[in-house]
Amino acid sequence: MKFELPQLPYALDALEPNISKTTLEFHYGKHHQAYVNNLNNLVPGTPFQNADLETIVKEGEGGIFNNGAQIWNHTFYFMSFSPNGGGEPTGPLAEAINKSFGSFTSFKEQFTKAAATLFGSGWAWLVKNTDGTLEIIQESNAGNPLRNGLIPILTCDVWEHAYYLDVQNKRPDYIGNFWNIIDWEVVGKRF
């Protein structure tokens, strides 16, 4: 199966000043693209040569998992944004957030803390458990909640390549900007 870099639903400068065009040129245009190229080079001749991306995320190991999951994670992350984003979710997702975390403010604080304290490279996730409750988890490197049977709702990439060009070492500033561009309509449909 040939994997391709997905088209973004916004221009590379559309998320400024929260995420710069330069960051997207590298993060999407170089890093995300490299994971696609790497996976296409890795799968031929393996049991995954005809597998779809979700199967690779759930069952892959080593480089095939790392590159496949990074494609999945980055696509999920980039598709969560809109130049008209920000604010708060509505509907069933908002109700579930209130039920699981008490309020949107409390959820935002806990998710921000999870993203800020994740040591090294990885992803903070909001996931839905099998009983419908929500939970915030941290995954290192290419980690993805699908491997544990959880449903991903929202993610924040805290690899340094996600923010270093814009805010250098100030990861909390990047996380603060992240909330300004979330497309809650897209994210809410995942719940």
Which residues lie near Mn ion (CB under 5 A)?
A: 157, 159, 162
Residue nearest to Mn ion (CB): 157
CB closer to Mn ion out of 157 and 166? 157
Q: Give the residue with the Cβ less far from Mn ion, 3 or 159.
A: 159
Task: Tell me the C-alpha to C-alpha distance, in Å, between residue 46 and each of 37, 69, 72, 147, 149.
Answer: 16, 17, 19, 20, 24
Nearer to Mn ion by Cβ, of 23 and 100: the residue is: 23
User: What CA–CA distance (Å, rounded) separates 53 from 58?
Assistant: 9
Closer by beta carbon to Mn ion, 111 or else 159: 159
Closest approach of Mn ion to the CB of residue 158, in Å: 9
Using an 8 Å Cβ cutoff, are 165 and 26 in contact? yes
Q: How far is the CB of 50 from Mn ion (least distance, A)?
A: 27
Residue pair 68/56 in contact (Cβ under 8 Å)? The answer is yes
Least distance from Mn ion to the Cβ atom of residue 162, Å: 5
Q: Which of 97, 163, 104 is nearest to 134 (CA)?
A: 97
Q: Cβ 27 to Mn ion, closest distance in Å? A: 6
Q: What is the largest CA-CA distance in the chain?
A: 50
Closer Cβ to Mn ion, 70 or 100, answer by number: 70
Cβ neighbour number for residue 91 with a 10 Å cutoff: 12
Instruction: Give the residue with the Cβ less far from Mn ion, 29 or 188.
Output: 29
The least CB distance from residue 135 to Mn ion, in Å, is 22
Shortest distance, CB of residue 32 to Mn ion, whole angstroms?
Answer: 7
Nearest to 36 by CA among 2, 79, 59: 2
C-alpha distances in Å from residue 180, one per residue of 17, 82, 175, 177 = 10, 9, 9, 5
